[in-house]
Amino acid sequence: MAKKRSEYDYLYISARIHAMENRMLTRERMERMLDARTAEDAAKVLTECGYEDFPALTPAAIEHLLDQARLELFADLRKASPDPGIVDVFCIKYDYHNAKVLLKAAAMGTDPAGLFIDAGRCPVRQLREDFEREDLDHCTPVFRQAVAEARGVLASSADPQAADLILDRAYYEEMLQAARSVNS
């Protein structure tokens, strides 16, 4: 079990996050982006958050920029946190999202490329390759078991909601384990 930490161990990272808040993409800013008439207007909202100008002003370019910012934020938080494992509590959901994408795309015979969110504990490319080889040994036992069970349920029942419930249950179980492992 992780070393017991006090709130004082997190003063630096807490102050750092508070300093970053003014530049974060808030719900209000996201709504302004969604309501924007043009991609240029949406990009202006991002420049208010400190993002640089866009080389190509397309929805894909904006999405790529936001993905990169998320990855950089998680990497930065891991470095600055007294216990980098606490960041995993927030990254686990992306692994499970990507597992759902993989399972459903395989069941439908479609390419899932545009649906991934590369912010989990496992890089999307590695997860995708391992999933296709049916070898998730690098993943946690809870994740491996949930993916195998969801794959089986989806194959036998063709019910994506049943597969989602299996993965959601495992996600919450694993998130709770991760939080407990860092005494949160």
pLDDT at site 129: 95
pLDDT at site 34: 87
Q: How far is CA 75 from CA 71, 80, 86, 128, in A?
A: 6, 9, 12, 21
Give the residue ranges of DSSP H helices in 81-140: 85-108, 124-132
* Tens of each residue's pLDDT in the chain, 184 residues: 446 777 777 788 888 888 888 777 788 988 998 898 887 888 788 888 877 766 666 777 777 777 888 888 888 888 888 888 888 899 999 999 999 999 999 999 999 988 999 889 999 999 999 999 999 999 999 999 999 999 999 999 999 999 999 999 999 999 999 999 888 7
Do 74 and 87 meet the contact criterion of CB atoms below 8 Å apart?
Answer: yes
Query: In whole angstroms, how large is the CA radius of gyration of the chain?
Result: 19
pLDDT at site 124: 92
Q: How many residues does the chain have?
A: 184
Do 150 and 166 meet the contact criterion of CB atoms below 8 Å apart?
Answer: yes
How many CB atoms neighbour CB 149 within 10 A? 16
